């Protein structure tokens, strides 16, 4: 309960930044937002992330109710990660960030070409 009170007392921008901060979380969410993904597939998509870091980031996102971890009773075990209903609300933000990045690249490309 104390954590909830602390979150409610924080600036909403700080809450969002704290949840999404770090080198990997936005990229993880970008890949998961495209549909359920298995751990190894996600790790391959991210490139240089270590297993430990990916596991830690996914656990944090799961604790924050952004990512859902589904374990299927199969052998070998199958685990998929997807966005929760709350996590899906970040999709417009991810899309806008991607569009902004594309626009930024297009704006600086002529500058880089002239150097």
Q: Angle at the Cα of 92 (from 61 to 21), degrees rounded to 5?
A: 35
Please report the pLDDT score of residue 82 as a whole number.
97
**Token duo for residue 90:** 């970040």
Second-level CATH architecture of 14-103: Orthogonal Bundle (1.10)
How far is the C-alpha of 53 from the C-alpha of 2, rounded, in Å?
27
10-14, 28-32, 72-76, 97-101: segment of lowest average pLDDT: 10-14
Please report the pLDDT score of residue 1 as a whole number.
40
Please write the tens of the pLDDT for every residue from 41-99.
999 999 999 999 999 999 999 999 999 999 998 888 899 999 999 999 999 999 999 99
Sign of dihedral through CA atoms 31, 33, 38, 39? positive
**What residue segments make up the domains of the chain, in order of their start?**
14-103
Of 62, 15, 58, 67, which Cα lies nearest the Cα of 40? 58
Find out whether 15 and 7 touch, Cβ atoms under 8 Å.
Answer: yes
* Length in residues, the chain: 115
pLDDT-derived band at 19 (thresholds 50, 70, 90) equals confident
């Amino acid at each position: 309960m104390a954590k909830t009170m602390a979150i409610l007392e924080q600036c909403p921008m700080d809450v969002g930044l704290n949840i999404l901060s770090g080198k990997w979380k936005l990229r993880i969410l970008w890949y998961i937002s495209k549909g359920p993904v298995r751990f190894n597939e996600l790790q391959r998509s991210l490139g240089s992330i270590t297993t430990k870091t990916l596991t830690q980031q996914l656990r944090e996102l799961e604790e924050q109710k952004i990512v859902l971890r589904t374990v299927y009773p199969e052998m070998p075990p199958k685990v998929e990660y997807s966005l929760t209903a709350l996590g899906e609300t970040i999709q417009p933000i991810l899309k806008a960030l991607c569009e902004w990045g594309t626009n930024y690249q297009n704006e600086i490309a002529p500058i880089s070409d002239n150097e």
